[in-house]
Each structure stands twice: as structure tokens, then as C-alpha cells.
A and B are shown apart, each in its own frame.
Chain A
Amino acid sequence: MILKGHTIKEGVVEGEALVTDMSFSFLGDFDITTGEVSELHDLAGETISGKILVFPAGRGSTTGALVGYYACMFNTAPVGMICREAEPVIALNALTNNIPMVDRLDSDPVDVIRTGDFIKLDATRGEVTIIKRAAG
């Protein structure tokens, strides 16, 4: 299955999807030491490191991109991001830190993609391919 959308930051990456219906901030919603999501977020208990994060939009402090910079340095950042519709803080995080990212897909990614799906994000072409569905 292929979803088509709009490029925020070019790049191609494959990985496991982590999906949430709650907006996400790089400041406060996870710990850059471990990549673990805050207990107060819907993704509590999950780790975002190395995942392709699928979420409605960014939220929170404009420190987000700087936190993203350090998360990349500590290898705890997601490797790609897919938003329903990006807002500037999350887009500038992708642009500043070279994280491939798309938004405005032809189907709602939060509905269509499931946590654990193995997906290919070709942000250069603005495409998301679900390669293998999560078990169950």
C-alpha cells in the first residue's frame, strides 16, 4: 500500500512505525537520554528512537528543534516523521536536523498506519509504503 503526500524534508528511510493520535513535542514528551516517551503521553511505555513517528502534528515549545539536535546526537531521535499536517516547530525540527518528513497524505496516516508496521518513507518523492503489516 502506498500513500502519497507532501515533502517537508527530503530523504529516504525504512523502519518500524510508531503511531499516535496525540500531538507530540520534542521537549517534554520524551527523554532524550533513553528515547522513552513520557508517562503522561498516550505513547507512554514506547521508545521513539529509530522509529518512524506517525502523529497528527507538533505541539509545545519552540525549543523542539534544539532538543531534536541533541536527540540525534545521542541516537534517540526518530529516523523519520509523518504528520497529518505539520506545524512549523516540528517541520523546522526535521529541516534543521535532517530528519526525513512528509505530511498531508492522501489518506490519514494516523488511521491507516499501525504501530509495528514496517514502512518505507520516501520523503523526497513524498511517498509512504507499508511494506509489512504488524502481526495481529
Chain B
Amino acid sequence: MVGGEYGPGVQKAMNFLIEYGEAFDANKMVNVQSAHILPDPINMLEEITEGVEEVKTMASIHSGSPLNSNWAETLGLETENAGPVIQDAFRAYDIYKNIGCMMTVSCAPYTMGNVLKKGNVFSWAGSSGIIINNSVFGARGNRDSGLAMTASAITGRTPEIGRIRDEERYGEVLVRFQKIDFETITQADLGAIGYHIGEVAQTKNVVIDGLPNTIPFESLKYLLSPMPVSGAVSMCHIVGVTPEAPSVEVALGNRKPELEISVRPSDIVKGHSLLNGYKSTDVEVVMMGCPHLTIREMGELAKRLSGKRISDKVKLFLATNEGIYNLSKRMGYLDTIQDAGGLVITDSCIAVFPFANMKEPVTNVATNSSRCAHYLLRGGAGEIVGGKVMGTFHGSTEQCVNAALTGKWEEK
């Protein structure tokens, strides 16, 4: 492939993967069974796909700025002066579709068919999907970024580094719980715990002991997805859940952990305090769906909103993908949510919601997602790409729905 016999795009992609491998001391390339791509800037994309007819593996597309979606107008966004970041997005989508990428346009492509099993190797964008793949499905992959995912999709290869290698998957930080009641805990509390663990573990692998293995997938989504936000965790063994973690000892590779921590109720309080920052309790927007809402969450939200009407001072944005959107429509959830005044959107990442582009200015936002709250408090990547530092409320789904109904934030 480096000789150019498969065309200039594949050659460029392979050279990039070799450089990536060298940076992390790879000995060889391995096949990937799945890619998930955050679209590259158009000039880079045109170069790397030159001569490419079809991707070599299952590949899907990540969510993007709501400015790049068909929902921009409905959301009240000004797209005229949205800048260089979005202008070529739809062209990039066409290129990816033409080489066979699945247009999931979602951070949760596992709800639309890009699903992995133990032993599969993946090259994915989306730090929440990556930690879920490694920790829940037992697949193997790293925190890929930049050109790596497109390069892997069109070559079918990735360097054998990091979490692909047995010896770099074992746990290093052992987490246990003290006085945490998993019967009553909210998903936002789990998010606050994950945020705390990520800050402590940084780039290290985590082992969590003491979670009931009946815990629903959605709760794991909220627990795991903040770890690569406050830190850079890509592997979190959950003893009794992760395929490679039948016991603490096996998850640790029969070694002593480098660090042991106990998570107490005070850590949940601390996590929440880092994820909340507001001056008044007036809520103007409520956003949920970071990572994208599953069908179970859509059903629960429809039930909570059934027969009710949100405050006319509040906008309720619920983010998911086209697969869940269509199933929600069939189930009547969509009608129920819309009748209550909510808006379900697709293709959009709400963590980088371009509040600077809102035609009617918004100051305060509530969310049940720790990931989302972290980025709202920091204004994403900045004003030039629509970012704005927001007054942010982080709490349970119940608190968020109540805030949508009343326009006021109430502490638990």
C-alpha cells in the first residue's frame, strides 16, 4: 500500500498510519473490523480518498455541529456567518457516503448497527464510543483522532498499539465504593462519579469493583463517557460486566494496582460542583442526548412528558440518531415529546452546541450529561466555531424535565 499500487489516497493513509505506529512503538499493523469517522477537513479528505472506491471495513460517521445538520433553522441558529468550519461539511458527507460509509451521523453508532464484540479491533472517533467498546463490548481500540479513522477505514489497517495489545489493557487504577446506594443513584450521579474517576486516572486503565451487574447499558453510558473528558481513559473494566473482567485479579492482570481509590458520596457532590456553574436559576434551554439518546431513554422521556407542556420560556432539545428517531416515531414517543413542546434532533453533537449562533441569545442551559456540562462550561472550541461559555446546570433527568416544565432549576 505504501508503494502507491492502490492509488495515492491509500498510499497517503498508510504512510500516516505508519507514522502513528512509530509514535507509539508499534511492531506491526493489524486488520480493523470497524471504523467510526469524524469527517476530516475537506482538503485533507479529498487527498486521502483520491483513487479510493470503497472502504475496506464497516465504517460509520460521527455526529457534528448542529450547524451542519438539517435542524439548524428549527433550532433558531444563524448559519449565514457560521465561518469556515461548517461550510464544506455536507460535501464531506457526500464523499464518505460514496465510498460506503454508513451515514449514522451519531456518537452512538452502536445503536445503528456498528456493533462490536470481544476481540474485534476498531478505529473510532468519539471518546465515549471508544471507552464503551473497550469496556462493555470487549473490543480493542485507541482514542483515535485526526486522519487516523479515515486512514484505517480505507486501508482496513491500524497500528497494533495501546489498548489493542493484551498487556496495555490491564487495569492500573482500582476503584471501589463506600456507602453508595446503586438502587437510588441517578445517571447524573454516575456521571459525576465518572468525571471524578477520569480526573484521578487520567490516561491509565481503570477497574471498577462493586457495581451490580444488572446495571442497564444507559447507566454505564453516563458513568463511562465523562472519564475521557476530565481525563483520557479508554479502558474501564467493570468487574462482572466487562468480558475480560470476571474478577478484580484478572482485570488487573494479577498485578497490584498502581493506585486504589474509594468513591464516597462526597465525591459525587464534588463532581456535581465541578459540573455546575450558574448565576441565576432561570433555565432557558434543556438539552439531553450526550451521548445520543437510546430508545429506552426516548421511551422514558416520552413517559415523563406525556400530557404535559414545557414552559414557554424554555426550549427542550433532545439529541439522537436517525435510527432511534424513526423507532421513536413508530412508537409514538416523538408525537408525545413534540406535543409537550420538545424538539428531537438528529446528526448533532449537543456538547458543541453553537450558542454563539443563536438568533435569540441564551445564557443558561441544563443537562443530565456530565460530558455536555463540561464543554458548555468552557464554551467548546470558542466563538469562531459558535462556542459560548454557558451558565450550566447538571442534574438528573428528572431535574432536567422539571426545569423544562417550570423554567427554574431546583437543587436535589
Contact = CB atoms under 8 A, between A and B. Distances in A.
Interface in B263-301: none
Nearest to B377: A40
B219 interface: no
Contacts of A40: 377-378
A57 B126 contact: no
A38 interface: yes
Contacts of A87: 143, 203, 232
B24 A88 contact: yes
Interface stretch (A59-67, A110-118, A128-136): A59-67
Interface in B337-387: 351-352, 374-375, 377-385, 387
Taking each of A7, A63, A68, A87, which has the highest tally of chain B beta carbons within 10 Å of its own beta carbon? Answer: A63
Contacts of B232: 23, 57-60, 87, 89
Nearest to A101: B23
B147 A57 contact: no
A96 B146 contact: yes
A27 B143 contact: no
Taking each of B352, B377, B381, which has the highest tally of chain A beta carbons within 10 Å of its own beta carbon? Answer: B381
Nearest to B142: A88
A65 B41 CA distance: 11
A74 B84 CA distance: 10
Interface in A41-85: 56-70, 73-74, 85
A28 interface: yes
B127 A60 contact: yes
A88 B379 CA distance: 24
Contacts, number: 141
Contacts of B44: 69, 96
Contacts of A69: 41, 44, 146
A33 to B, nearest CB: 4
B129 to A, nearest CB: 9
B382 A31 contact: yes
Taking each of A7, A29, A58, which has the highest tally of chain B beta carbons within 10 Å of its own beta carbon? Answer: A58
Contacts of B243: none
A93 B231 CA distance: 17
Given A59-B232, A88-B142, A93-B145, A32 B382 contact: yes
A91 B145 CA distance: 9
Contacts of A26: 381
Contacts of A39: 389
Contacts of B20: 88, 91-92, 95
B202 A62 contact: no
Contacts of A18: none
A107 interface: no
Taking each of A30, A68, A85, A87, which has the highest tally of chain B beta carbons within 10 Å of its own beta carbon? Answer: A87
Contact of A64 (B16, B84, B124, B145): B145
B47 to A, nearest CB: 12
A8 B23 contact: yes
Contacts of A28: 374-375, 378-381
B378 A92 contact: no
Interface string A4-41: 00011100000000000001011111111110001110
Q: Chain A, interface size: which category?
A: 35 or more
B380 A27 contact: yes
Interface in B226-242: 228-232
B230 A97 contact: no
A62 B351 CA distance: 13
B387 A31 contact: yes
Given A34-B382, A85-B203, A86-B23, A27 B375 contact: yes
B203 A57 contact: yes
Nearest to A25: B229
Interface in B145-176: 145-148, 161-162
A92 B127 contact: no
Interface string B28-49: 0000000000101100100000
Contacts of A8: 23
A62 B377 contact: no
B19 interface: yes
B38 A59 contact: no
Given A65-B146, A88-B144, A93-B146, A38 B203 contact: no
Interface of B: 16, 19-20, 22-24, 38, 40-41, 44, 84-85, 124-127, 130, 142-148, 161-162, 198, 202-203, 228-232, 351-352, 374-375, 377-385, 387, 389
Given A23-B231, A62-B143, A86-B24, 16 more contacts: A7-B22, A27-B381, A28-B379, A29-B378, A31-B381, A33-B384, A56-B202, A59-B230, A61-B127, A61-B228, A69-B146, A73-B84, A92-B147, A96-B146, A96-B147, A97-B146
